[in-house]
Amino acid sequence: MNILTYSAEHEDFRRRLHAFCDEEIIPFADQWETDHALPRDIWRKAGRAGFLCPGVAKRYGGLGGDFRYALIVNEEMARTGQTGLAASLHSDVVVPYIESFGSEAQKQRYLPGCVNGDIVTAVAMTEPDAGSDLAAMTTTAVEEGDTVVINGAKTFISNGLVCDLVVLAARDPAVEDRYQAISLYLVETGTPGFHKGRRLDKMGWHSQDTAELFFTDCRIPVENRLGDKGAGFLMLMTKLQQERLTCALGALTAAERILEWTTGYCRRTAMDGRLLVKNQTIQFALVEMATETKIGRAFVEKLVADHIQGGQIIVETAMAKFWTTDLANRTANRCMELLGEAGNLEHHPIARGLRDARVMAIFAGTNEIMKQIAAKFMGL
């Protein structure tokens, strides 16, 4: 029995997205990875085809769909072997801040562009010296009448160079309580005082740009604040459940893709006149990994169903985030070992999959932080 069921609309979305990936992404994915960049126009193509922000309400151009669409996007994007078109980051992590906490004027101004690909978003939380403690951020936002003056720096910002709009977390230095000092602001690319730094040269995720962002006396209208002043930390915490569930989806589909490719390779590749898949050691390894991915699939789909129903699954998503990202790393490592020297070849997806999987245990809160969260809620 399937945990999740799909409507005709879901299946039509999947078919169209599958065809889009085959035509517009997969033929170019290797070149994008080599270039460490992808053309900006692919975002517009994806948006105009209806594949960005499917959860956004219809009145702003979206499908008004549920979180099943996020799972479909993760599954189809996993096939492409590229990370540059970070559709889930844009659609399921950043844009929901605007839809949930934005004013009607903000929604009308930004959401249609987020849906059609004219606006690519990023969220700027991480700082060079703040580590995993968001409340320790030092970027400041001082409200002066109808203007906000922002100073500080952010780093490891996904979509940092391609983005047109940043959801920025900053603190009011006049507020002593560091949790109540944080607010969220919308900052557009091109705003005076907002500068994009260098593209960070990463171990993996090569086609997905990650950058430093700098704010020097950057002035924005006070109406660009999201929600109430001082409510930023609470808003961030509210959205972490979906962010971590999105990460779990991405890690699970990555593990499934790596295993699927490795199984196929072992079925068609012979050594000493015998197909690799007929070797008992390889059979057992493939069965063990397939079992783990099926366990992960059942767990994650149950969480998706609970999330759609509005369940509070903070602990469970923390558990899923660390377990699935560890799973992606274990699967990539073990598949590399099964292939031996062949696994190191760049034209095989295992080397890329291994590089891309490693950071999954770090972003959106390290796996150690996930275990701390779970331990706290378990009363340990």
Beta-carbon contacts of 131 under 8 Å, excluding residues fewer than 6 positions away, are none
pLDDT of residue 342: 81
- Write the CA distances from 52 to 167, 235, 341, integer angstroms: 17, 22, 39
pLDDT of residue 55: 95
Note whether 153 and 212 are within 8 A (CB).
yes
Spatial CA neighbour of 185 closest among 167, 204, 208: 167
> What is the C-alpha separation between 294 and 296, in angstroms, rounded?
5
CATH code: domain 122-228 is 2.40.110.10
Q: Give the residue ranges of the chain where pLDDT is below 50.
A: none
DSSP string, 271-334: ETTEEGGGSHHHHHHHHHHHHHHHHHHHHHHHHHHHHHTT---HHHHHHHHHHHHHHHHHHHHH
The burial class, CB within 10 Å (0-12 / 13-18 / 19+), for 227 is: middle
Which residue type, as a one-letter code, is found at position 189?
A: T
The burial class, CB within 10 Å (0-12 / 13-18 / 19+), for 341 is: exposed
Spatial CA neighbour of 300 closest among 317, 325, 315: 317
Is 243 an active-site residue? yes
Place of tokens 């590229």: 82
> What is the C-alpha separation between 132 and 130, in angstroms, rounded?
6
Domain map (residue ranges) of the chain: 8-119, 122-228, 234-377
**Whole-structure pTM value:** 0.91
CATH superfamily of 234-377: Butyryl-CoA Dehydrogenase, subunit A, domain 3 (1.20.140.10)
Write down the catalytic residue from 243, 256, 292, 316. 243
> What is the C-alpha separation between 357 and 332, in angstroms, rounded?
7
CATH label, 8-119, candidates 3.40.50.720, 1.20.1370.20, 3.40.50.2000, 1.10.540.10: 1.10.540.10
pLDDT, one tens digit per residue, over 87-143 is 999 999 999 999 999 999 999 999 999 999 999 999 999 898 776 677 788 999 999
- Residue 87 structure tokens: 């559709």
> What is the C-alpha separation between 135 and 133, in angstroms, rounded?
5
